[in-house]
Amino acid sequence: MKTQVGIIGGGPSGLLLSQLLHVQGIDTVVLEKHSRDYVLGRIRAGVLEHGFADLMREANCGARMDAEGEIHDGFYIAHDGVRDRIDLKGLTGGNSVIVYGQTELTRDLYDAREKMGGAVIHHAQNVQPHDITSDKPYLTYTKDGEAHRIDCDYIIGADGFHGVSRKSIPQDKIREFERVYPFGWLGVLSRTKPVSPELIYAKHERGFALCSLRSQTLSRYYIQVPLSDSVEDWSDDDFWAELKRRLPADVSSQLETGPSIEKSIAPLRSFVAEPMRYGNMFLAGDAAHIVPPTGARGLNSAASDIYYLYHAMLDHYKNGDDRGLEGYSQKALARVWKGQRFSWGMTTLLHRFPGNSDFDNKLQQTDLDYLLSSESAMKSLAENYVGLPF
């Protein structure tokens, strides 16, 4: 088989790029290791920047997001038994975010790919990029015991943090920067009315908590837990009781509880691999960088990679101009690091760090006091949360 752009990974990054390029008449093949249902079963992001939403619209995939997604003009920070609102719209001169689940967005992308007859190959095993530094790179994989080969102009590594593409780059050609946090997030999805119409990020001495949602009948809650905990350690009742302890009384008294329909623990990590290009293979999304979810940046950072790659590919195929491809890594990384800085900052501000001294805790408290008392500081927070320009 032959294609122009061979994409490893059928998560949001790979599917979005494939869809955008196909709309412009550029041929792609997506190789995904798992089934569609498996990919859709992963409950992840919930908050989208407008830049991301614009890309979905450009890919002809924005209709359901625009109809069912919720525009959020602000969120709350809860601390010391009270709540302070971050007025995103007021602080950014009119910007906001969209609450629309990654599951729904990925479903829309799969449906659009199917409608256009796009090639998305599921259950692709042992995917391997070859001759990456030549001008004739190719991919091999097996499916149902049969070996396949795809010749391409370019390879896109959009196969997430554990994928094969980053690992195919020789170690002396890539540098990795990493911070692992000493805790994770236990997340619960429940068919209950959300406790608040806007998200609540809660700092508490027992640990961080987050009240989020997918719709007015579907809630998503998280609590910070030690890395040694496993999902089996947490019954639904234990989860709700602990969440209530970490929220202000006027919030916890309103919390509607119910059976969990999904429960999982995600470790928190900051990670960047540089550069994001090796030969004719380009990394995008979680394959190249991971953030702790506190600032809701992960999927949004993936979207900016896709934006830069999409435009670079258009310039290459339509105008014979390779400057976008040459500059991709540098341009993408500049924005990626700003997302890293923000996510690290939000995580540091709101979590309980086991090794912290009393002095560290006082400074953390003072950081929050300062933030909530300074319009300039809140403006900076809001500007980053709604997403820096691409």
**Considering the complex, what minimum distance in angstroms separates the CB of residue 199 from ligand PHB?**
6
φ, ψ of residue 203 in degrees (nearest 5): -95, 130
347 binds, among ligand PHB, ligand RFL, none (CB under 5 to 8 A by kind): none
Cα separations in angstroms, 230 against 104, 161, 226, 310, 341: 27, 21, 9, 40, 29
220 binds, among ligand PHB, ligand RFL, none (CB under 5 to 8 A by kind): ligand PHB
From 147, 100, 114, select the one nearest 128 (Cα to Cα): 147
Q: Cα–Cα distance between 106 and 31 in angstroms, integer? A: 15
**Considering the complex, what minimum distance in angstroms separates the CB of residue 145 from ligand RFL?**
17
**Considering the complex, what minimum distance in angstroms separates the CB of residue 357 from ligand RFL?**
29
**Considering the complex, what minimum distance in angstroms separates the CB of residue 103 from ligand RFL?**
10
**Considering the complex, what minimum distance in angstroms separates the CB of residue 245 from ligand PHB?**
20
Q: Cα–Cα distance between 388 and 302 in angstroms, integer? A: 13
The residue among 156 and 209 lying less far from ligand PHB, judged by its C-beta, is 209
DSSP helix/strand/coil, 113: helix
223 binds, among ligand PHB, ligand RFL, none (CB under 5 to 8 A by kind): none
**Considering the complex, what minimum distance in angstroms separates the CB of residue 34 from ligand RFL?**
4
The residue among 18 and 270 lying less far from ligand PHB, judged by its C-beta, is 270
Contact set with ligand PHB (CB under 6 A): 45-47, 199, 212, 220, 293-294, 296
The residue among 39 and 53 lying less far from ligand RFL, judged by its C-beta, is 39
Q: For tokens 């990626």, what's the residue?
A: 336
The residue among 231 and 266 lying less far from ligand RFL, judged by its C-beta, is 266
The residue among 217 and 330 lying less far from ligand PHB, judged by its C-beta, is 217
Is the peptide bond prior to 275 cis by the omega test (within 30 degrees of 0)?
yes
The residue among 59 and 296 lying less far from ligand PHB, judged by its C-beta, is 296
Query: Do the Cβ atoms of 123 and 34 come closer than 8 Å?
Result: yes
The residue among 182 and 365 lying less far from ligand RFL, judged by its C-beta, is 182
62 binds, among ligand PHB, ligand RFL, none (CB under 5 to 8 A by kind): none
The residue among 22 and 220 lying less far from ligand PHB, judged by its C-beta, is 220
**Considering the complex, what minimum distance in angstroms separates the CB of residue 343 from ligand PHB?**
9
Joined tokens for residue 28: 């792609």
Q: Cα–Cα distance between 126 and 141 in angstroms, integer? A: 5
Report DSSP letters for 272-333, one per residue: EEE-SEETTEEE-GGGTEE--GGGS-HHHHHHHHHHHHHHHHHHHHHH---HHHHHHHHHHH
Q: What is the distance of C-alpha 217 from the center of its chain?
A: 23
Contact set with ligand RFL (CB under 6 A): 8-14, 31-34, 39, 44-47, 102, 124, 127, 158-160, 162-164, 185, 187, 266, 285-286, 293, 296-300, 302
Any idea of the CA torsion for 159, 344, 388, 309, to the nearest 10 degrees?
-20
Other C-beta atoms lying within 10 Å of the C-beta of residue 33 = 22
294 binds, among ligand PHB, ligand RFL, none (CB under 5 to 8 A by kind): ligand PHB
**Considering the complex, what minimum distance in angstroms separates the CB of residue 292 from ligand RFL?**
9
32 binds, among ligand RFL, ligand PHB, none (CB under 5 to 8 A by kind): ligand RFL
Other C-beta atoms lying within 10 Å of the C-beta of residue 390 = 18
